[in-house]
Structure 1
Amino acid sequence: MFKQKYSLVLLALLLLFGIVLAACSSDNEDAEEDPGTQEEEEETEGTEEEEDEEEKTEGPQVGGTITGAMYSAPAGMFNPIFYEEAYEANILSFTHESLVGQNESLEFIPGLAKEWETNDDQTELTLYLEEGVKWHDGEEFTAHDVVFTYKSIADPDYVAAGGIRTSYVTPLLGYEEFNSGETDEFQGVVAEDDYTVTFKFAEPNINPLYYASFTIIPEHVFADIPVADMPEAPESRDAGAVIGTGPFKFTEMVEREQYVLERHDDYWQGAAYLDKIVWKVVAQSVMTGLLESGELDFIADPNGIPPADYETVEGFGNIEIIEQPDFGYQLLGFKHNHRTAEDVEAGAIEPDNWVPNEKLANPEVRQAIAYAINREGLIDGLLYGRGAIINSPIAMQFWAYDESATTNYTYDPDQAASILDDLGYVDVDGDGFREDPNGEEWVLNMDYPTGNEIRERSAPLIEQMLEEVGIEINLRQPKEMSAYVEDLTNDNSDWDLYLLGWNLGSADPDPLGLWGIKDAYNFSRWNNPESDELLNNALKAPEAFEQEYRQEVYAEWQALFSEDLPALLLYAQNSLWAYNNRLHGIEPLPYSMYDNPHLWWVDDAE
């Protein structure tokens, strides 16, 4: 059984108590005993007042508002089981919580669950929950909320409604029977009592806490709303109706402009010091100036301050910068297949129905494209060197990342041209662009979203690189992120190349949630049975209880990925998070700046 003692709340209370003591001390307790002149007495009195004022401002203060910025507006989905974007996560990170969290070493630590234990064969994980936790509307959090959350994700209507997180429930006992509608009972998550919940797995599970780490939603709010209707319900979208257990409540919004979070006074770890956190949607080009002027207090996820502005921001006297490797990557995706219109309409992901994209069907064509792209040039020119080439869709911070197993597509336009020549992609009509082996026009459509300025700037550069080796690119007008993701998910039949970035989960290196054949996030519609076999083997007990075994399997999978290329990984950008030095209590994790925000405070609170 895992147990951890909490000291943060006690420390906060002690610091707060210290402030109270300082405020109660007498300014003049020694004044009558001072034998000096009246002028000396007044000077001494002034000094004591200044010292006392300093004492008052030491340590956390209650009150104040901070303002953060993101350069693209949230799409508007604030239900943890349905959201898709990092911009929505910027809200949910403060409003909702999970049973377990992670520390700076990526080890699981208590969250809404205070302790846990597994049975001998790792088929059951029992968690004991914190008591007295209140939802934002005052209702009590219980094990029944946990059951409801996972039952909703396992629901037969979940995927059709737009849900994409089935990877958290597929290993659970009885998932197939419940999801297919054979039974109304879900055996996978059971409330033993109000404060004890058991996760039951169909087979021994190597990492049960990962599957228990999903964010919890309130049963009493959603119980009467069918899963199919949840995404459009006010409780998933409207400020004031979104209910979590986190330290801040989502109370106001001016859609696409401003989002306001207010302190949850009944927060189970103690009310936050800050009164409010205000999110503003700000163009990336003006963020730095607003940071200097104090109109913004922090810029963090998803991409922080622009690398081009690093030295400028570093010169500001009022700003602290956190730089560390990003827990994610940017990619150029290749559409291997497209879904049918019927499957899109039905919300179904049926690989047997997919239509192959003949323009990119040959893996050697995708490899030629990879050789034609100067990734190092993108890092030097756009990131000012603050990033690294990554050749596998596993975060470099994980033990499973294996550079030696992958193919490093170094910039080699001659190699790219030679591959295409050998395949019969040559310029037949003399217009400078290659036709396909049948002599037909060969044009690749390329799409990308707005919001991330560096990604926007990379699109025409990639177009130019590909056209330099004779590949004609139709670079289409960028779309706002929410519309872009909808089109990407629906698989418009003429998409070929797409730009996207992923912020990866930190719980486990398992990439199934993004690259498994039937995963909704598998936007390339990569249909490679060998890949799925390897990914599932890496999770299969008892062999997978040994990390060395998993390393070997993931190395083989990374080699397959870089050969078959559902996407070319462009780079992992360094995270450049910045915050005003009036803000205190920031203790970043490897994957986020938002750790324990209830302990954040400002030294000029009113």
Structure 2
Amino acid sequence: MKRKTLVSALAAVMSASVLLTACGQSSSTTTSSDNEKKTDLTKANVTVIKAEDTNKLPSVAKNRKDTMVIGMVAPDSGNLIPYLTSNSYNYYLTEMMFDCLGNLNDDGTPTPGIATWTTSSDGLTYTFKIKNGIKYSNGTEMTADDVKFTFMYLLDPSYKGKMFDPTTTYIKGWEDFNKGKTKDLEGIQVIDKNTVKITLEQKNATAIYTLAHTMILSKDYYGKNYKPGDVSSVDALQNSPMGSGAWILKSKKDGQEYDFDANENYWQGKPKIKHIIVKNVTDDTNIQELKTAGIDLTDPTCSEENVSELKDAGFINMRISPTWGYGIINLNTTNPMFSDVKVRQALTYGLDRTNIDKAVFGKYAQVINTPLPVVSWAYDTTGVTNYKYDPDKANKLLDEAGWKKGSDGIRTKDGKKFEIHFLQSTGNSVNDKFVPIAKENYKKLGINFVAEPMEFKQVLNKTMAGDFEMSFMGQSFSTADPDQASTFKTNGTQNYGKYSNKDVDALCDKELTTLDKNSRKQVFHDLYKKLADEMPVIPLYERNDMYAISSRITGIEPTPFKDYTNYFWKAEIK
């Protein structure tokens, strides 16, 4: 259902944390002075590399006694309403200010938090009971009305976000409400001040992950002027966020700095750190900022070079773990160049993905052939095509697809030359390595590969609008369930390449309505085998994430399945 996609504002280094399903694979933490032994991406281990000489901590950090500074790639301007945002870093900011009905275990499974819940025997009705005294940062109390309002906003026909897909919610009456036929959402009933009942039209394997992990908006604050069919009054407050989370936004300079104070009314207890500054960094500056103590925490590219450099600094702790996400090449399948499956297969066989991954991450990434992380319980490569680099096979497929090489070595079909325009986000380590390799690889296939450099925000906006031929992005999940119907189903809200296949649609529907884990795993296998054959996107890698944290900060222990922002409220400064 709800996913955090596209979306690393590192434009492709995918630093969003990994979220694992509730299906048997638990996280474990290992301390190591030699990270070389702990790079198995098939296990959800967290490798901890401890600082070796904390005396090297610069004095500027020691003097920052009540403030923690976080280094993030610049979020978009505005977009500080949950699920209106379009990148992971805006999402992190909203996680600091808003809370969900449930908390997350370290393995990503939902657990009671602001609310407890029960499920009916038929699996269709979820009843949430909000604890007494849960307050927003303006002092007003959270109620069941806020829960209903939040889902009405997300299911409203005028909702402009991409992170909530109404077609996969199955909340009773959602479609009539979403199409403006009704003014009320039938499937959500407010029972009393603290109790809300949510009824589904059919069973949904992802329901509790979505319902318990949706950040709640105050109806009193955001919904004063809301009318079904018009969310403009809600969206107008995207630069003035107010939630029930641990942190209150006090000031901001979009793209530069976001300043937060601790929320004294926070229901889990007042945070131990008084102030947090979120500071803009880039993939080129974050390591240096951390080494000079300009920041206390960041999530740099997990490469052998960066690990070595941070170890040498002496005072920095590192946490390394597999990403619950992946890197992909997006293809606009409505473009005649990419509408033929043989062409998409050829582009995959003809791309030296292993060389690209090694150039960026060293041993901290691996090639995948399906758009699903290796650490997922649903991952199964049995019978899945292995697209090992094979230019000869790629050339043969292009011949079969009717693209013939001319005297200049470039392929043509129906009078059109095969020329790919690639949206290249600048200042990004993956794109910097991908472009020259792709250009050389595709030249051997008779394809002219043209990179068009631009800022990541432009790449993101063009990709989301379908105004592209090829682009690179990171995909990550906002819940621990591996459902990706919104990405691959026809007209899915995050299906930016406009891919459409009836068999894939049917499999997406089937996995959503299959509750038994083993049966659902088989459906996922069929789905991802089909996607590997179809290649609507080109999977590039699954990689490791790395969080680099100054030794003066304790209590931030992100796992592969839980965002580091969830730990800020209990962090401490030594």
Q: TM exceeds 0.5?
A: yes
Q: How far apart are 1:304 and its partner, in Å?
A: 4.8
Question: Could you say which residue in structure 2 is the equivalent of 1:324?
Answer: 321
Distance 2:532 2:316 in 1: 40
Distance 1:169 1:431, change over 3 A: closer
Determine helix, strand or coil for the equivalent of 2:412.
coil
Amino acid at match of 2:482: P
Q: What's the offset of the Cα at 1:372?
A: 0.9
For residues 49-64 of structure 1, what are the structure 2 equivalents within 5 Å?
64=66
Equivalent pair of 2:284/2:427 in contact (CA under 8 Å): no
What secondary structure sits across from 2:486 in the alignment? helix
Distance 1:329 1:275 in 2: 35
Give me the whole-angstrom Cα distance separating, in 1, the residues matched to 2:167 and 2:457. 24
Aligned residue for 2:428? 452
| Structure 1 equivalent of residue 463 of structure 2 | 488
Aligned to 2:342: 364
User: Does the CA-based 8 Å contact 2:488-2:500 persist in structure 1?
Assistant: no
Aligned mates of 2:100, 2:166 — CA distance in 1: 16
TM-aligned CA deviation for residue 451 of structure 1: 5.0
Out of 453, 456, 472, the position equivalent to 1:477 is: 453
Shift of the 317–486 alpha-carbon distance from structure 1 to 2, 3 Å rule, reads same
Spell out, residue by residue over 1:436-492, the C-alpha distance to the aligned partner (whole angstroms, 9 max, x if none): 2x34322122113235332343233222221222111121122x2323222222222
1:231 offset after TM fit, Å? 6.7
Read off the aligned partner of 1:433 and give its amino acid letter: I
Partner of 2:231: 228
Distance (Å, rounded) in 1 between the aligned partners of 2:402 and 2:497: 25
**Cα drift, residue 236 of structure 1:** 0.8
Q: Give the CA deviation at 1:595.
A: 2.9
Closer, same or farther in 2 for the Cα pair 1:451/1:326, shift >3 Å? farther
- Whether 1:389 and 2:367 are equivalent positions in the alignment is yes
- What residue number does 2:9 align with? none
**TM-score by structure 2 length?**
0.84
Structure 2 counterpart SS, 1:539: helix
Aligned to 1:273: 272
What is the CA distance between 1:362 and its match in structure 2?
Answer: 0.9
% of aligned pairs identical?
24
Note the residue ranges of structure 1 that are not aligned, 5 or more in a row. Answer: 1-61, 338-356
What's the C-alpha RMSD, in Å, of the aligned pairs? 1.9
Task: Report the counterpart of residue 597 of structure 1 in structure 2.
Answer: 568
The alpha-carbon deviation at position 232 of structure 1 amounts to 4.7
Residue 462 (structure 2) pairs with residue 465 (structure 1): no
Distance 2:518 2:177 in 1: 35
Q: CA deviation at 1:163?
A: 4.6
Deviations 1:320-367 (A, max 9, x none): 011100111111111112xxxxxxxxxxxxxxxxxxx21111100110
8 Å contact from structure 2 (residues 368, 541) kept in 1: yes
Distance (whole Å) between structure 2 residues aligned to residue 483 and residue 230 of structure 1? 26
Q: Does the 8 A contact of 2:369 with 2:539 survive in 1?
A: yes
**What's the CA shift string for 1:499-524, capped at 9, x where partnerless?**
11112233311111222212221111
Q: 1:378 aligns with which of 350, 356, 367?
A: 356
The Cα shift of 1:306 comes to 5.1
Give 1:315's match in structure 2, choosing from 309, 312, 315. Answer: 312
For 1:255 and 1:410, how far apart are their aligned partners in 2? Answer: 43
Mark the CA change 1:491 to 1:207 in structure 2 (over 3 Å): closer, same or farther.
closer
What is the CA distance between 1:190 and its match in structure 2? 1.7
Corresponding residue SS for 2:243: coil
Q: CA deviation at 1:550?
A: 0.7
Aligned residue type for 1:278 = I
* 1:97-176 correspondence to structure 2 within 5 Å: 97-113=99-115, 115-158=116-159, 161-167=160-166, 170-176=169-175
Q: 1:518 to 1:164 in 2, by over 3 A?
A: farther
Residues 164 and 86 of structure 1: CA distance in aligned 2, closer, same or farther (over 3 Å)? closer
The 1:217–1:307 alpha-carbon spacing in structure 2 relative to 1, beyond 3 Å, is: farther
State the secondary structure of the residue aligned to 2:244: coil
How much does 1:394 deviate?
2.3
How has the CA–CA distance of structure 1 residues 307 and 94 changed in structure 2, closer, same or farther, with 3 Å as cutoff?
farther
Which stretch has the larger CA shift, 286-295 or 63-72? 63-72
Q: Secondary structure at the match of 1:448?
A: strand
Structure 1 residue 514 and structure 2 residue 495: aligned? no
- The 3 A distance-change label for structure 1 pair 565 and 230 is farther
Q: Distance in 1 between matches of 2:490 and 2:426?
A: 28
Report the AA paired with residue 86 of structure 1: S
Partner of 2:17: none
Contact 2:304 2:364 in 1 (8 A): yes
Shift of 1:286: 2.1
**Residue 535 of structure 2 corresponds to which residue in structure 1?**
565
Partner of 1:16: none
Question: In 2, Cα distance between the equivalents of 1:401 and 1:386?
Answer: 19
Match of 2:416 in 1: 440
Matched with 1:93 is: 95
Alpha-carbon distance, 1:371 to partner: 0.6
CA 1:360/1:214 → structure 2, altered by over 3 Å: closer, same or farther? Answer: same
Distance 1:451 1:214 in 2: 33
| Structure 2 partner of 1:71 | 73
SS at match of 1:128: strand
Question: In structure 1, what is the equivalent of residue 525 of structure 2?
Answer: 555
Change (3 A) 1:287 1:570: same
Matched to 1:140, the amino acid is E
**Aligned-pair distance for 1:556?**
0.7
Contact residue 125 and residue 208 of structure 1 kept, 8 A? no
C-alpha separation in 2, matches of 1:248 and 1:305: 28
TM-score, normalised via structure 1 length: 0.80
Distance in 2, matches of 1:231 and 1:565, equals 38
What does residue 18 of structure 2 align with? none
One-letter code aligned to 2:479: S
In structure 2, distance between residues paired with 1:231 and 1:562: 40
Structure 1 range deviating more: 81-90 or 483-492: 483-492
* Contact 1:168–1:214 under 8 Å retained in 2: no
Contact 1:75 1:482 in 2 (8 A): no
Residue range with higher mean Cα deviation, 482-491 or 215-224 = 482-491
Amino acid in structure 2 at the alignment position of 1:95: M
- SS across alignment from 2:196: strand
Q: Who is 1:427 aligned against? A: 405
Structural mapping, 1:247-262, within 5 Å: 247-262=246-261
Rounded Cα–Cα distance in structure 2 between residues aligned with 1:165 and 1:328: 18
Q: Secondary structure at the match of 1:458?
A: helix
> Which SS does the other structure have where 1:122 is aligned?
coil
CA distance in 2, matches of 1:597, 1:216: 19
Query: In structure 2, what is the Cα distance between the partners aligned to 1:101 and 1:214?
Result: 10
User: Is 1:288–1:305's contact at 8 Å kept on the other side of the alignment?
Assistant: no
Partner of 2:170, secondary structure, is coil
Cα 1:421/1:177, change in 2 over 3 Å = closer
Letter in 2 for 1:383: F
Measured in 2, the distance between the counterparts of 1:96 and 1:361 equals 42
Superposed CA deviations along residues 67-103 of structure 1, whole A, max 9, x for unmatched, are 1112333342000031110120121121111111321
Does the 8 Å CA contact 1:261/1:277 hold for their aligned counterparts? Answer: yes
Is 1:123–1:201's contact at 8 Å kept on the other side of the alignment?
Answer: yes
Instruction: Compute the displacement of 1:497 (Å).
Output: 1.3
Q: Which residue of 1 aligns with 2:475?
A: 502
Instruction: Name the CA distance, whole Å, in 1 between partners of 2:431 and 2:396.
Output: 28
Q: Is the 8 A contact 2:302 2:364 kept in 1?
A: no
Q: Which residue of 2 is the match for residue 538 of structure 1?
A: 511
**Paired residues of 1:71 and 1:451 also in contact (CA < 8 A):** no
